[in-house]
Structure 1
Amino acid sequence: MNDATVYSEATEQVQVAGVELAHLSIETGHFYMKNLTNGDDATIRAHFKRVAKLVDLYTEAAKADFGESARVSTCFLIDDYFGPNTDPTEILTKVLDIANDCELRIDYLAREAGCWETPLYVDGHLTGQQIKLAEMVASWLVAEPVQPTTGRRPPDVESGWLCNGRRSSEHDSDQAMQVPEYRHPKELGSREHSIFLDVELWNKQIGKDGEENTRWSCPFLASIWQLLRLGMVRYEGRAVVEPVPRAASWPKSWWEMPSVVQLNPKAAPFAAYQALSILPQSYLNIEHAVRTILDHIVIDQEVLDKTIKRGADERIVIPREVGQRLSHVFVDEVVKRLPAAEHAILPTPS
């Protein structure tokens, strides 16, 4: 990026706060906004019915690992960054009503736009300050050191692209008028064969006001989402996201809603030692990109050390690589067709 702003924890000046951690955070699904607005309630219902059973299964597994008092929280991420002009009341009422019908517990609701910018709370009170969260995390990116290269392509942190190896273009000769020999891309650290991935983190778009704006990609925002769930992000030493209890009514716009809303007052903490995401199959490529991005993000060492020590106090070994604290279940779309009479009472997709 061209923004010269450098973000850091400045741990020599600011004490880094710890955060309460559950043993396991379960993401109960994620849908593109178009899935939530096109009347396809039957697909959402089928997903939630499966997820409800899986939440029970993984909760019991957590109790087997950590004891009957294991702390397990659930969450759901709303796609408001790519669908900001929708009605929060309509969307959230639909999601929570279907979840309730399927006996799926959702402890926390989160906004994807909150991974871009989030309001800063201190002791439960709004400060009026917005944290440019995506810019901050982007400054933590460190690309793979690939040598030699021709210099024809700008560094990843400027181009908005990040890969897990050497691109084929980086083999091109820098000799003028010489036809380069094609060489395939290469994954760094690969075993027998490469699985090369090149991820777009952001691009630049011209807004209605003529100003150039950064448009963050779904994989990059999802990477920040996972870091928040693992309690790995601080701003000036403070935890970035503080769950806010649900208000009596939903706001008229997404931007008026806190980044994380706590629906269940008795819920275990939002952040956790481990994060499990139960997602539709279509998100497999997104999460592959997320793992690549996380492998290139440098986490503040004091934040990491505090988490490792907190785990050690509970006799839990926490790996230093954040990607090793993530798990995924990708749910297939095989559905048993209901009898005609029973099917007729379900909402008909438009």
Structure 2
Amino acid sequence: MTDTAPGGAGTGTVFRETTAEPRTQAVPLAHLSLELGHLYMEDFEAGPERLHRHFAQVRPWADAARAAAAAAGRGAPRISTCFLIDDYFTRLSSPAELIPMLLAEAERAGLAIDYLARESACATADGIALADAVLHRLVESPHPGSDGSRPPAKDTGWLTNGERTPGLESLEAMANVASWRPPAETAARRHSVFLDVEMWDEADDGSRTWSCAFLAAVWQLARLGLLRHAGEAVLRPTPWSGDGFPRDWAALPPLLQLDPTAAPFAAYRTRSVLPARFLSVEHAVGVVLAHFEADAAALRQIAERSRAEGLPVPGDIPDRATYSFYEAP
């Protein structure tokens, strides 16, 4: 099948195969992706009882999320559970030692983990630099009245939800202004809650270490079914064979499907049940999501399918991610 366009040599017509046009792959979608935790290696190092206390705190919130999803839908909701393990910043143990302990303590608390992900996969998975791809889809919105002097977030590694306080040099260069001006949130409701998010830092050799907040934003976008590479879905689940877990983290698939009968990994909405210490991190995640320009076709696919099920999703991506925070004992 072909179409025509002006500008061809000699004939004024270019013939192009429409099948060669890039297409956005659709992904299976649950109604809700329920995250049962995101712990650091030191939490695992503290032993099984520390994990059991975590899951015991999570269980009531997980039950409430399931009940709310059932009340909002038509029929039985499709809910998948997931857990994110930090193998990016520290690796104090091996999958063979850690994962069986994790699954056993979740089960002891009456919970089942359908999908298990490595945090390092939010940086790079299956040869695709996911964090870098998300960075290049961030669109900054200049704060009203800004002078454009601030370097782009893609260059500085810092992303804000408003206008920073001007530096001293900028103030001295401006005529008839006060010596200090406060930062301002772009979408403030009377008073600002200003946030400046560090997306990465760099070593002397120029290598980047992505921040926990930025990797968590990639994680949310994956769970919402909004990540694509050349139109193809990324971070796709790998079924677990049940033959035991490897000794090396690099040998573990980026995203593991533990239950073959589980609802899809990605979902219209996400709910994360986390310790309260993650509150500031997830605030930063919302800033990143608010600046992310998702693939238009992926957004359209999700909107059409959710409407067809009578469960339309919010237009703004950050509003699709919800949280329950508990205070650790």
Q: In which range does the TM-score fall when normalised by the shorter chain? A: 0.7 to 0.9
Alignment counterpart, residue 196 of structure 1, candidates 194, 199, 206: 194
Distance in 2, Cα, partners of 1:255 & 1:195: 40
Question: Kindly tell me: are residues 177 and 305 of structure 1, through their superposed partners in 2, closer, same or farther at Cα, counting changes over 3 Å?
Answer: closer
Q: CA deviation at 1:150?
A: 7.0
Q: Is 1:221 aligned with 2:195?
A: no
Distance in 1, Cα, partners of 2:317 & 2:175: 46
Q: After superposition, what is the alpha-carbon deviation per residue over 1:215-259, rounded to whole angstroms, capped at 9, x for unaligned?
A: 100000000000000000111111102111113121221121111
User: Is the 8 Å Cα contact of residues 37 and 91 (structure 1) preserved in structure 2?
Assistant: no
Q: After superposition, what is the alpha-carbon deviation per residue over 1:190-218, rounded to whole angstroms, capped at 9, x for unaligned?
A: 12211110010011113xxxx42011000
Q: After superposition, what is the alpha-carbon deviation per residue over 1:249-284, rounded to whole angstroms, capped at 9, x for unaligned?
A: 212211211111111111111000110000001000
Q: Is 1:103 aligned with 2:97?
A: no
Q: Return the TM-score normalized by structure 2.
A: 0.88
Q: CA deviation at 1:148?
A: 3.4
Q: Which runs of 5+ in 2 are unaligned?
A: 1-18
Match of 2:319 in 1: 324
Question: Kindly tell me: are residues 84 and 191 of structure 1, through their superposed partners in 2, closer, same or farther at Cα, counting changes over 3 Å?
Answer: same
**SS of match in other structure, 2:166:** helix
Q: Is 1:166 aligned with 2:173?
A: no
Distance in 2, Cα, partners of 1:333 & 1:240: 34
Distance in 2, Cα, partners of 1:109 & 1:59: 19
Question: Kindly tell me: are residues 68 and 49 of structure 1, through their superposed partners in 2, closer, same or farther at Cα, counting changes over 3 Å?
Answer: farther
Question: Kindly tell me: are residues 70 and 180 of structure 1, through their superposed partners in 2, closer, same or farther at Cα, counting changes over 3 Å?
Answer: same
Match of 2:11 in 1: none
**SS of match in other structure, 1:320:** coil
64-73 or 20-29, which deviates more: 64-73
Match of 1:18 in 2: 26
Q: CA deviation at 1:24?
A: 0.7
Distance in 1, Cα, partners of 2:165 & 2:174: 18
Question: Kindly tell me: are residues 251 and 182 of structure 1, through their superposed partners in 2, closer, same or farther at Cα, counting changes over 3 Å?
Answer: same
State how 1:103-252 maps to structure 2 within 5 Å. 103-119=110-126, 130-146=127-143, 147-149=145-147, 151=149, 153-169=150-166, 172-173=170-171, 175=173, 181-206=179-204, 211-247=205-241, 248-252=243-247
User: Is the 8 Å Cα contact of residues 16 and 237 (structure 1) preserved in structure 2?
Assistant: yes
User: Is the 8 Å Cα contact of residues 143 and 157 (structure 1) preserved in structure 2?
Assistant: no
User: Is the 8 Å Cα contact of residues 45 and 92 (structure 2) preserved in structure 1?
Assistant: no
**SS of match in other structure, 1:131:** coil
Distance in 2, Cα, partners of 1:92 & 1:225: 19
Question: Kindly tell me: are residues 101 and 183 of structure 1, through their superposed partners in 2, closer, same or farther at Cα, counting changes over 3 Å?
Answer: same
User: Is the 8 Å Cα contact of residues 149 and 170 (structure 1) preserved in structure 2?
Assistant: no
State how 1:66-105 maps to structure 2 within 5 Å. 66-84=73-91, 86-105=93-112
Distance in 1, Cα, partners of 2:108 & 2:265: 23
Q: CA deviation at 1:180?
A: 6.7
User: Is the 8 Å Cα contact of residues 35 and 273 (structure 2) preserved in structure 1?
Assistant: yes
Distance in 2, Cα, partners of 1:170 & 1:164: 17
Match of 2:257 in 1: 262
Distance in 2, Cα, partners of 1:316 & 1:176: 51
Q: Which runs of 5+ in 1 are unaligned?
A: 1-10, 120-129, 335-350
Percent identity over the alignment is 39
Distance in 1, Cα, partners of 2:125 & 2:84: 14
Q: Return the TM-score normalized by structure 1.
A: 0.83
Match of 2:39 in 1: 31
Q: CA deviation at 1:85?
A: 5.5
174-183 or 157-166, which deviates more: 174-183
**SS of match in other structure, 1:329:** strand
Q: CA deviation at 1:93?
A: 1.8
Alignment counterpart, residue 271 of structure 2, candidates 269, 272, 276: 276
User: Is the 8 Å Cα contact of residues 150 and 173 (structure 1) preserved in structure 2?
Assistant: no
User: Is the 8 Å Cα contact of residues 163 and 199 (structure 1) preserved in structure 2?
Assistant: yes
Match of 1:292 in 2: 287
Distance in 2, Cα, partners of 1:148 & 1:65: 42
Q: Is 1:304 aligned with 2:311?
A: no
Q: After superposition, what is the alpha-carbon deviation per residue over 1:37-67, rounded to whole angstroms, capped at 9, x for unaligned?
A: 233x333212201322322232222222223
Match of 1:342 in 2: none
